[in-house]
């Protein structure tokens, strides 16, 4: 269950990791980038007999990070939304699809 969605302010000293605003000049293209921390609780499962999920822990706390990149001018928004999981296989968030596009 999501319990909190907190926007993280961007300051001169602090900005999102791998920020497109700085690395891709997103602002020059008419976009803004917002970072949020979403926190809540969820169940933890393991694979049980016959590959059925078995709950092994209830209400485990979590926090995850969301980056939202959108047109600064809402009138230019096409209505299309792309959701990309921030790949953590390198032990840090990597937005490969964004970088590649």
d(CA 34, CA 25): 14
Average pLDDT over the chain, rounded to whole?
A: 88
What confidence score (pLDDT) does residue 8 get? 94
What confidence score (pLDDT) does residue 99 get? 66
Would the pTM of this model clear 0.75, i.e. be above it?
A: yes
Contact (CB, 8 A) for 87 and 94: yes
Range(s) of the domain holding residue 50: 2-100
Contact (CB, 8 A) for 7 and 14: no
- Sequence-distant contacts of 72-80: CB under 8 A, at least 24 apart: 72/27, 72/30, 72/31, 72/32, 73/30, 76/30
pLDDT-derived band at 16 (thresholds 50, 70, 90) equals confident
What confidence score (pLDDT) does residue 49 get? 94
Total of domains in the chain: 1
DSSP three-state, residue 75: helix
């Amino acid at each position: 269950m999501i319990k909190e969605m907190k926007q993280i302010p961007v300051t001169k000293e602090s900005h999102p990791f791998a920020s497109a605003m700085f690395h891709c000049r997103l602002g020059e293209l008419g976009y803004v980038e917002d970072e949020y921390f979403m926190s809540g609780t969820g169940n933890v499962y393991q694979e049980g007999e016959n590959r059925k999920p078995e709950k092994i822990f209830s209400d485990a706390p979590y926090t995850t990070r969301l980056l939202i990149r959108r047109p600064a001018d809402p009138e230019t928004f096409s209505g299309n939304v792309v959701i990309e999981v921030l790949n953590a296989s390198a032990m840090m968030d990597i937005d490969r699809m964004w970088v590649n596009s």
